[in-house]
Amino acid sequence: MIQTLHDILSAGWGAMLLRGAAMTVFISVCGIGLGMAIGIAGAAAKTGANRPARALVGLYTLVVRSVPELLIIYLLFFGAVQPAADLADWLEWDELMSTVFPMLIGILAIALISGSYSVEVFRGAFKAIDPGQLEAARAIGMDRGQCLRRITLPQLFWYALPGANNVWQAALKDTALISLVGLVELMRAAVLGSAATRAPLILYLMAGILYFLIGACSQGLFVWAERHFGRGMRGAGR
C-alpha cells in the first residue's frame, strides 16, 4: 500500500496529475474561447433590433443557466455517444472514443455553459460603451468596420474583462465534471490515483493545490490584462 508522498511521486502519479492539469487547462481555454465567441454573438443579437434573434438568445441563456451543468454534459455525451461509436468503428480508430470524443464533449459543454453567462457579460460591456463615441466616429466619416475595430472591440473587451474572469474561474471548476464521462483531466487523475494508492487525502490535496495554482495564475493574468489594456480607457467618454 502506497502511503507517503514520496512513494506516490515515485509511482508516477505526480506526472499523471500534471498531465491531467494540462488537459484541464486545454479544455478550459478551448471551451471558454468558444464560449466567448457565443457570448459576443449572443450579446450582439440581444442588443440588436431583430426580435426573433433576441428571443432565441434569451431562450438559450434561460435554458442553459437553469439546467445543472452535469445534466448538460450527460445530454451531450449520451446524445452523441452512439454516432461517435459507429464512426470510430468505421474508421477503426479506438482513440476516438477513449480520448477524442470525451475531450470534444468537454469543450462543447464548457462552451455552452460559459457562453450562456458570457452573453450577459458582453451585453453589459456593449451597454457600457458611450454611444456618443460612435456618433462622433460616424460624423468624421468612419464606416461600420472602422468603428468596430477602433472603438467598439477595444472597449468591449476591456469592459468585459472582470466578468470574463468570473466566467473563466467557474468554467475551470466545471471541468471537474467532465471526469464523469471518462476524460482523464485533473480530477479524474486524482480519482484514479486515490483508488490505486489508497491515499485519497494526499491525491486530492495535490489536485486542490494544482487547481489553486491554475486559478491564481489566471487571476493574475486577468488583473494584468485589465491594467495593461485599460491604459487610456479609464474615464473614456466622461
Full set of structural domains in the chain with CATH: 5-229 (1.10.3720.10)
Question: 472602422: which residue's cell?
Answer: 146
Q: Each residue of 145-194: pLDDT tens digit?
A: 777 777 777 787 888 888 899 999 999 999 999 888 888 899 999 999 88
pLDDT tens-digit profile of 190-238?
999 888 888 888 899 999 999 999 999 999 998 888 887 766 565 544 4
Q: Is the pTM of this model over 0.75?
A: yes
**CA 129 – CA 47 distance, rounded (Å):** 12
What does the pLDDT average to over 74-94? 86
Percent pLDDT > 70 in the chain is: 95
Residue 1, pLDDT score: 44
Degrees to nearest 5, angle at CA 165 with 63 and 213: 115
Which triple of cell numbers denotes residue 180? Answer: 464523469
pLDDT tens, residue by residue, 94-109: 777 778 888 999 999 9
